[in-house]
Amino acid sequence: MRRNRRVKILATLGPASSERETILALFRAGADAFRINMSHSSHEVLNRLVGLIRSVEAECGRPISILADLQGPKLRVGTFADDAVQLPVGATFTLDSDPTPGNIDRVHLPHPEILQALEPGHRLLVDDGKIRLVTLHCDGRTAVTRVEVGGRISNRKGVSVPDSTIPIGALTDKDRRDLDAALAAEVDWIALSFVQRPDDIAEVRKVARGRAGILSKIEKPQAIERLDEIIEMSDALMVARGDLGVEMPLEAVPGLQKRITRACRRAGRPVVVATQMLESMISSPVPTRAEVSDVATAVYEGADAIMLSAESAAGAFPIDAVATMSKIAEQAERDPYYAGILNAQRPEPQATGADAISAAARQIAETLNLAAIVCYTASGATALRAARERPEVPLVALSPIPSTARRLALVYGLHTVVSEDAVDQDDMVEKACKFAIQDGFAAAGQRIIIMAGVPFGTRGATNLLRLAFADDVTAR
């Protein structure tokens, strides 16, 4: 099964998509990877869903990527004596360390780390920004604020502090338990929520020890400030536009999406664009025109993957949402302007052998109008470099390691195949031609270009380009 598009689709599983038949239908409709949200999934649910996805993978004969999304620290206000109060604009409102139920004047904030980080002028956004408070003064135990945007505030509503760097890591005790469970279930990617600094990623990497890729979700201003460092420490990034749009001005999010996407491409890191892409399809069988344009914009930007959240997890039309997203992406990639836009954004090759080989393979393939680029990859690094070039011809990645093939299923343009490594150059050509023909990328008599490393089986040794006729095998 081959896709007619290069961008990948990441679909979130949930109550509307937790049965095998639905997961199979989602994959056939166009989902290349599945997200399991640990905010709403027990370890039992995690293991069941992973088992169902692997069953679908075996039936379809295609590697499928699984991402476990850790909840991250959830910051919330305490409770109120009457469950809720109405805050008027201009009023003074206090958040403190007293666990007594709150009232119109104050409420408990059970996060001493916030009270210690707040300074005059720092904002507190409650209930996804519906309530906005500005700190007047704070002594480390009590923060006195002015209500800038008022309204109803009720028990345990979420609070974010976009102007403050909170001195806590991105992993809670729940996250550590969920991380261990996800690694034991052999998921392919771990998504880390509310990343603020590179050290947050280092903590997860120590635990994962290479067993899964680390995807950092960019949803806080502090992460934007240290974006290059975070990219360097991560295996992939996600533009988490929901929380990013709460903590930063909404009008800044489109520009940040472009900045993050292009920075990831320069670094050769996959990037996922997420949140509210087809939000109306939670309850409608068709999206809005604005949503169609939003999805297409991410495709034109060269994102590796685009994500569905509640649309596939809890919506009334999960399969239609995936199919619609796939059609939008296919149409965008057929646009005559598409290749030119991607080419204009192409970064210069870095001074490495893998970069030089990848750039040469792309240029040769496009100049000679070859049928496909086939690359051998064990760790996935060669395939990532090839994908960074965004070639106009199909890109096939052969790996002897199933976990590598699965992880690469989230990456732009890569048609991944699990195959034994080549033993010599003749075997290399034979296997490459076999899969190029078998999976419909080349016909007998067409030429392909092969990227590999000699000696075979050596990681990080991409140093060989070979032109081959696809009938090298069929003629035997």
- List all residues 6 or more positions away from 400 whose beta carbon is below 8 Å from its beta carbon: 378, 418, 419, 420, 421
Rounded (5°) CA angle 467-470-474: 140
State how far the Cα of 16 lies from the Cα of 283, in Å rounded to an integer.
12
Cα 358 to chain centroid, rounded: 24
CA proximity to 153, closest of 187, 180, 129: 129
Tokens for 69, please give them.
């999304």
Q: State the catalytic residues.
A: 35, 76, 217, 275
Instruction: List beta partners, residue 108.
Output: 96
Could you tell me if 281 and 311 are in contact, meaning their C-beta atoms sit under 8 angstroms apart? yes
Pairing of strands 447-453, 462-469: antiparallel
The 10 Å Cβ neighbour count of residue 263 is 17
State how far the Cα of 453 lies from the Cα of 381, in Å rounded to an integer.
12
State how far the Cα of 155 lies from the Cα of 150, in Å rounded to an integer.
16
Tokens for 342, please give them.
């991607």
Phi and psi for 408 in degrees, rounded to 5? -75, -15
State how far the Cα of 441 lies from the Cα of 2, in Å rounded to an integer.
9
CA proximity to 268, closest of 359, 370, 376: 359
Instruction: List beta partners, residue 214.
Output: 190
Tokens for 325, please give them.
């997203």
Q: Which amino acid is at 267?
A: A
Tokens for 283, please give them.
């309850």
State how far the Cα of 107 lies from the Cα of 110, in Å rounded to an integer.
10
State how far the Cα of 50 lies from the Cα of 53, in Å rounded to an integer.
5
Instruction: List beta partners, residue 12.
Output: 35
Instruction: List beta partners, residue 307.
Output: 10
- List all residues 6 or more positions away from 412 whose beta carbon is below 8 Å from its beta carbon: 6, 7, 8, 270, 302, 303, 304, 305, 387, 390
Return the sign of the alpha-carbon dihedral for residues 296, 301, 302, 306.
negative
